[in-house]
Structures are given as structure tokens and as C-alpha cells.
Amino acid sequence: MPKVAVPLPYFDFFPELKAEFAAKYPGTRFSQPGVLMQGDTLIDFLRGCDTAVIGLNRFTEEVCAALPELKVVSMCSAGVDHIDPAILNRHGIKMWWAPGINKISVSELALCYMVFALRRLHFFSSVLYQGEWKGPRGFGGDLRGRTVGIHGVGHIGKEVVKLLQPYGVHILACDREDFGDFYKQFPNVEKVGAEELWARSDVLTIHLSKNQSTIGMYSREVQARLKPGMVLVNCARGGMVDEPALADNLKSGHIAGAAFDVFAVEPANNNPLLGLPNMFASPHIGATTMESWDAMLRSGMHGIENAYDPKPGVYPFD
């Protein structure tokens, strides 16, 4: 019987699932609600256990070296940019991860953010909270009839395509993989390269994995090639967009609006972007629905007995 520790507090929101977990793996150590465990705190919590069911806890060289009993790391998270497969391999630790486990929640959020940014909802809402009414403050725009670019047409990007169908938009799909059979199902989807995506998108939503090929991709130079007056949405991961450049482009109006759920440094409470009237932001809530977390926690449980050797250089570690 594996000795399991769970250094994430979300099972407390699902008491029946927690009871099911504890019954299947007696003696499981559950964390208490609080700050995400990292470093020494994580080591102390996991000491003596051979299996960890985790969220965004980081398994650095120091953490793994201090936990020689650890053999399995099963992830509830939908991304793995906090995991280095080479470190796990050096310490003989297997992992579990299920891609796309939160695709419905994130795709719905992305669609909402397209509308929010186009309608300038953040600005108009702030006016109301300041005790004013709308007055002559300009206009927003409709999503209908726009050209929407989707950068990354994996699990979440495909769901965005489906959700956009009633909106009468033209969709530009950009991915290094060829999803031709999927695109053929939708006459409003056009496969394009990155340059064309950037030049033509009225709204561009990012759904890429965070890895060495995507970190910093939306540099100042790339942002300069975006269609003037466009809207940029990121519900994927922080660190792929140059945030100082984004601030400059939002101030100049080259980018008319942005809606981000993720940032290069999180928590992002002091990020200068948050003070801009055309920036809509949220604290990494893409998967924060009861449905998503139920699925992610169940996936973490499943991975205890189904973990595998991570392969550096193989998706998503490329």
C-alpha cells in the first residue's frame, strides 16, 4: 500500500471525494488550507511518503534529494511547467499528468474574456464603482463578425473553436501540429502560420503550453506585428507575453485591450498592468470551477497507480 501525502488543500472542498480517497489509501496525509507548500515546508510534509498527489508544488533538485523515499508524483494540475522531468528521472520518480483535464472551464473563461475586453467591461465597471454613470465615455465592440485567432489548438483551443461557432466569427487556427481533420468540421476555421495569425486577428487568444519554445514568444517585436487595435487574451500561462511591452502597447492603443488570467510572476497583486483601464485581469482562476477541480482531483488519485517515467523533450516538456 503506497504511503500518500497530498500537499494541496482542495480536497477539503470535496468532502465525499476526500473520504473516498482516504478509504482507498488509508493513512493518507492531507494538508490544511493555507499557503502553497514549497521548499522546506514541502519536504517536511512529504517526509516518509513514497507518493505525492500535488498541484503547483515544485519538485526541485533540493526537494527530491531530501525525499529519497518518494517514487511517484501525481499531478492534479492541468499544466506541468513547474516540473523538470530530468530532475524526476535522476531521482527515480515517476509522474502522472492528464492534459486537457480543465478544458471546458478554461475555454469558457477565454470566451468570456474576449467579450469582456471588446466591451471594455473593466473600464465601465470601474466607472460605476466610482459612483458615476456611463456618460459620454465611448463604446465597446461586438464579438460577432470579428476574426478570432487561436494560438494553440490543443485540448482547450479546440473547445474554444466549438464555443465560438454561434458567434459568426472567422477563426484563424495556428498550431505546430496539423489538426486538419478537426478543422474540416468547421467551415469558418482557417489554418494559418504565426505571422498571418498576428497580422489578421482582431482578437487573439493564447492556448499554448509553457515551455522553452513558448516562453517570451510574445515579445515586444512580435507585439509590434499584431494588428493595430486588436484584443489579446491569455488564459494559458504567464511568461509567454512581454508584460512591459504589453503595458506600453495598451497605453498607446496599438493593443486596444487585454484580458489575462495569468502573469509572469504570481501572485501578481503589484503588477503595473493592473492599473490600466483597458486591462482586465483575474488571479489565475481558469480551472477554478467545481467541475474542473473534481476532475483534476480524481485524475490525481488515478495517477497514484498509473504514473509513468517522464520523457524530456516529449510533449509537454519541449
120 φ/ψ angles, rounded to the nearest 5 degrees = 55, 40
- Can you tell me the distance from the alpha carbon of 226 to that of 27, in angstroms, rounded to the nearest whole number? 54
One-letter amino acid identity for 200? R
Q: At what angle do helices 121-129 and 103-118 cross, to 10 degrees?
A: 70
HSE at residue 260, side-chain half, CA atoms within 13 A, is: 25
Active site residue 82: no
Q: Give the neighbor-by-neighbor strand order of the sheet with 51-54.
A: 29-30, 4-6, 51-54, 72-75, 94-96
Residue of 87, 48, 88, 51 lying closest to 71 (CA atoms): 51
Catalytic residue among 122, 146, 207, 237: 237
Alpha helices in the chain (DSSP H): 15-24, 39-46, 61-65, 85-90, 103-118, 121-129, 155-164, 180-183, 194-200, 220-224, 243-252, 290-303
Cα 215 from chain centroid? 13
Tell me the helix, strand and coil percentages in the chain, rounded to 5: 35, 15, 50
Look at residues 44, 3, 49, 9 and name the one whose alpha carbon lies nearest to residue 30: 9
The yes-or-no answer on residue 266 being catalytic is: yes
- Is 170 a catalytic site residue? no
Dist. CA 254–CA 251, nearest whole Å: 8
Catalytic residue among 200, 266, 298, 302: 266
Q: Which residues are catalytic?
A: 237, 266, 284
